[in-house]
Chain A
């Protein structure tokens, strides 16, 4: 599904953001990407959705060889992914429905199929009643649900979430996190970058930890954390 092999990433200004990172995420997995600020979590995700070029190494995402991807094929890759951010990134002048429908229209979906598909995902995220609302009329948690609905509407096999609860209070955080778990339970892989260690401890999911661009811990290969931390 997602496979990094000896991946390095250097930004034109600034040093190495990723150093020799390798991991493999299988279909339907839920993975936390953790690490301090600046550790490289967002960078990993950016490489997955081809927002930044890979400096060296191999990145494979659902059959795409991302490092060699031609610019014209990037949209095709992104249509297979759902992406969610801390700051929601909704279009302010469109309603919740229109924001979700937009992601479908972009792919050239038939217009007649839109309303049903949009309603289905809005129902899935618990916002069926707020389809006509504009982002400014929604709470942060609700806006994030719209963003998740938009990410889901193309039925991606992977959902990438970069600190999706970073701007939310505790209650909204729990709600959004539960939603991501439900989405994962129905078969979609979820990769979630987060600072929130409480959240990480709550759930029995795989954890990949980065430190200054290096992968320092992967719960699927290393000893459980508590033992590894004490020498």
Chain B
């Protein structure tokens, strides 16, 4: 077996308690980051669900020829922001109203003439569901001669925008704070591991070990601890998610990529934390 790997594994065997403590510390630090991540992921899901309802309706002037409408529908669907454009005729608008507004069925039944205009309902692609793009598309729809009026919940879209900005800012700040705290805690843990072996390091140097040689097992060990900590953190997050899902609300869990990112983050902190601790130690003695 490679010497670096052997030495790294030996360290786990020789100091099982400290190793377990390091892994646990890393796991809990990352677990806190993970919990926050879960909240962020679910908040984002919720916002996306709300944004799904963003819709622009272009009401058409009565008597617009169906050919023009079909052409316009094609044009609109070709807008880069647009996901779908659906023509709703006067008749189907009425039919929908009858189905949806059961209380008014009688009134609607007795109508001599259909008062509802035909319309084109436009949905935007997910990444364009914000005030700026909605306004933009609405403006372009107004440009069609046979469009009478364009409606979308302006206030509502703007509020959604603001909510998204706040969520992103809070997420960034709190997430970064948690990550920094995790890095500090993990760094301290790794420092303990290095100090515990300072006598050994001194002896290694005495017999002519290069700094690289001394460093390598520590880096590997740190990366392994970080990875294990990350895996445990994902496991804990999953447990927390299961509980929440069962007793509180329907929530979402990390995607595979996000779970992998947590483990990767742990591995990197372990690696760089070790590099920093050993580096500092080697420079001082």
Contacts and interface: CB of A to CB of B under 8 A. Distances in A.
B203 to A, nearest CB: 5
B98 interface: no
A78 B207 contact: yes
Interface in A60-78: 71-72, 74-78
Interface residues of A, number: 22
Nearest to B283: A71
Interface stretch (A22-30, A100-108, A203-211, A218-226): A100-108
A102 B210 contact: no
Contact of B14 (A75, A78, A93): A93
A133 interface: no
A185 interface: no
Given A93-B14, A105-B3, A106-B213, A76 B200 contact: no
Contacts of A89: 202-203, 206
B205 interface: yes
A67 B121 CA distance: 83
B243 interface: no
Q: Which secondary structure dominates chain A's binding surface?
A: helix
A150 B207 contact: yes
B80 interface: no
Nearest to A77: B208
Nearest to B7: A105
Contacts of A93: 14
B216 to A, nearest CB: 12
Interface in B45-88: none
A72 B211 CA distance: 8
B209 A106 contact: yes
A78 B203 contact: no
B208 A76 contact: yes
Interface in B117-142: none
Nearest to A49: B206
Contacts of B204: 102, 106
Interface of A: 49, 71-72, 74-79, 83, 89-91, 93, 102-103, 105-107, 111, 150, 154
